[in-house]
Amino acid sequence: MDRWRTLYLPILAEFVRNGGEAARADIDALRQALQDIPADAIMDHHEESVKFLLSYTDLEDRMTFVHRSLLFITELLIALRLPESAAASEEPLPDVNTERLLMTAAMNAVPIEEERPNKFETVLQHMDSGVALFDNAGNLRFLNVPMSRMLQAPRKTLIGCTLYQLFFHSHLKKPIRRSFVRMYREMVLYRRFQGEFQDASGRFLLVTISLIDELDGDYLVSVKDVSEYKQIEQTAFQNDKLAMLGKIAAAIAHEIRNPLTSIRGFIQLLNPFLIEIGKQEYGRIIISEIDRANDIIYEFLNSSKPSAPMKQAVLVGLLLKETILLSESEAHMKGCELQCEVFDPYLMIAIDVKQVKQVFLNMLKNAMDAISEVGNRRKGRIDITARREGAYAVISFRDNGKGMERSTLARLFDPFFTTKEAGTGLGLSVSYRIITNHGGMIHVESQVNEGTEFLIYLPCTEGKE
């Protein structure tokens, strides 16, 4: 493609969008490229470009668009035919194919009715993937509606833009433009023509760039939101890890617990002798460490219990009240204020009370630990709420602690993963398994230095108080 044809479309598009203004450097570059081009060729390409851009313009804006495009070609042809030395003279302008300009104006002055798209374009518009087409000069030639939604910008403001213009486009939000630059660097500069990216909102996007012979050297870009598939994949991966954890726990827990019980008994028998020689502190440390090892094994055993819980119907408000009674003394010692609000007093769930209470206690303990790590910068507060949402009871535990990074959130329910010095990394993985065994799910939202919210979804059940 000639250089002037490559320059023409994006400069014309910018001119008509910006109220008859465009970058002076771009106009001068186009003028230089058109010096030896016949007026007929320029007019043919102008009409083709105008019709292309009009197909993406709203009906109410087409008359304004036509007038600006006519102004563009008129000024351009006059500038090409008018010598610079005659710019200040009063001599009559040379002929600039005025008759053809008037014919073009007459043709374009009538608003073009919206053409009915062909069936192939209709298919593209109803795909669940975003599709864009760039020519070999980097000009955006086509954009379907899903791609426009992903970019959060109208199609008419993007068509005709160069790749460089998209990097600085005023209608595109800054995080989206940053994603453009990152994708361009990784996929074009490093020759990776398929990749998975995560945008600022957390969506996982599968981006593919194809160079197809039938498109005459144009580049086809497709973007598919694979967040749901990613979540299913992560859930399956999580279940596999939990299943493996259960097998390990079932195989070794009892074998370790038996010798620990024997050691603890012998240390207690030796305790009088240790007191005599002034080494009773050694005995206390040994027993406390054995008890800690027993606690870890207990959590192992919980993770390997049969998946079917022993369910009974219970009021959510009553269960939360009992949980808070067990935790309020520790919360008071750590300077945490507990606030509970149940929006539906008759909200009922069918659960294994012991297992779910263990989950709630774990949530409260984690919230208090997160608040204690903030220090005295603000007063600790934990808000517990319960509400009905469709067929689920939603129990929320929100704290104003230190929050979590995205990398931490991604591994939050992995066995043995912990950010605490004395943590085992099993509490949340066990909680996750308990909730999923009840037909529920756990959702986490967190902001660094602002706090974290755990949302526990459990199926509601109908019953009487």
Backbone angles phi, psi at 279, to 5 degrees: -115, 25
Containing 66, the helix (H) or strand (E) segment is helix 62-81
Structural domains of the chain, count? 4
**329-339 pLDDT, tens digit each:** 888 888 889 99
- Residue 175 bridge partners (DSSP): none
Kindly state whether residue 464 falls inside one of the protein's structural domains: no
Q: Where are the beta strands (DSSP E) in 296-435?
A: 312-315, 336-342, 348-351, 380-389, 392-399
Q: Quick one: 35 and 87 in the same domain?
A: yes
Kindly state whether residue 465 falls inside one of the protein's structural domains: no
d(CA 427, CA 415): 8
Q: Are 362 and 426 in contact (CB under 8 A)?
A: no
Q: Quick one: 9 and 70 in the same domain?
A: yes
Which CATH number fits the domain that encloses residue 203?
3.30.450.20
Q: Are 309 and 301 in contact (CB under 8 A)?
A: no
Q: Quick one: 195 and 244 in the same domain?
A: no
Is the pLDDT higher at 285 or at 79?
Answer: 285
Q: Quick one: 241 and 203 in the same domain?
A: no
Q: What is the average per-residue pLDDT within 2-27?
A: 73
CB neighbours (10 Å) of residue 170? 8
Q: Quick one: 25 and 105 in the same domain?
A: yes
User: What is the DSSP pairing of strand 348-351 with strand 451-459?
Assistant: unpaired
Kindly state whether residue 274 falls inside one of the protein's structural domains: yes
Q: Quick one: 199 and 288 in the same domain?
A: no
* SS3 per residue for 112-135: CCCCCCCHHHHHHHCCCCEEEEEC
**32-90 pLDDT, tens digit each:** 778 778 877 888 788 888 877 777 776 666 777 777 777 778 777 777 765 444 434 44
The residue type found at 14 is: E
Kindly state whether residue 291 falls inside one of the protein's structural domains: yes
Quick one: 86 exposed, middle or buried, by C-beta within 10 A (0-12, 13-18, 19+)? exposed
Choose the final residue of a domain: 303, 333, 349.
303
d(CA 183, CA 210): 14
CB neighbours (10 Å) of residue 326? 12
207-224: buried (b, 16+ CB within 10 Å) or exposed (e) per residue?
A: bebeeeeeeeebbebbbb
d(CA 274, CA 285): 12
**388-400 pLDDT, tens digit each:** 999 999 999 999 9
Choose the final residue of a domain: 109, 127, 153.
109
Q: Are 109 and 94 in contact (CB under 8 A)?
A: no
- Rg for the chain (alpha carbons), in Å? 34
Q: Which domain holds residue 193?
A: 119-225
Q: Quick one: 212 and 191 in the same domain?
A: yes
| Lowest-confidence region among 81-90, 172-181, 192-201 | 81-90
> Which of the 8 DSSP states describes residue 462?
-
The confidence score (pLDDT) of residue 458 equals 95
Q: Quick one: 181 and 237 in the same domain?
A: no
Kindly state whether residue 114 falls inside one of the protein's structural domains: no
Q: Quick one: 97 and 150 in the same domain?
A: no
Containing 412, the helix (H) or strand (E) segment is none
Q: Is 148 helix (H, G, I), strand (E, B) or coil?
A: helix
Say how many CA atoms lie within 13 Å of 418 toward its Cβ. Answer: 14
- Residue 441 bridge partners (DSSP): 457
Q: Quick one: 387 and 423 in the same domain?
A: yes
Q: Quick one: 272 and 318 in the same domain?
A: no
Q: Is 389 helix (H, G, I), strand (E, B) or coil?
A: strand
Which CATH number fits the domain that encloses residue 329?
3.30.565.10
Choose the final residue of a domain: 260, 280, 303.
303
**338-367 pLDDT, tens digit each:** 999 999 999 999 998 888 988 999 999 999
| Lowest-confidence region among 66-75, 124-133, 176-185, 250-259 | 250-259
Q: Are 80 and 28 in contact (CB under 8 A)?
A: no
CB neighbours (10 Å) of residue 7? 21
398 token code pair: 């929100």
Q: Quick one: 36 and 96 in the same domain?
A: yes
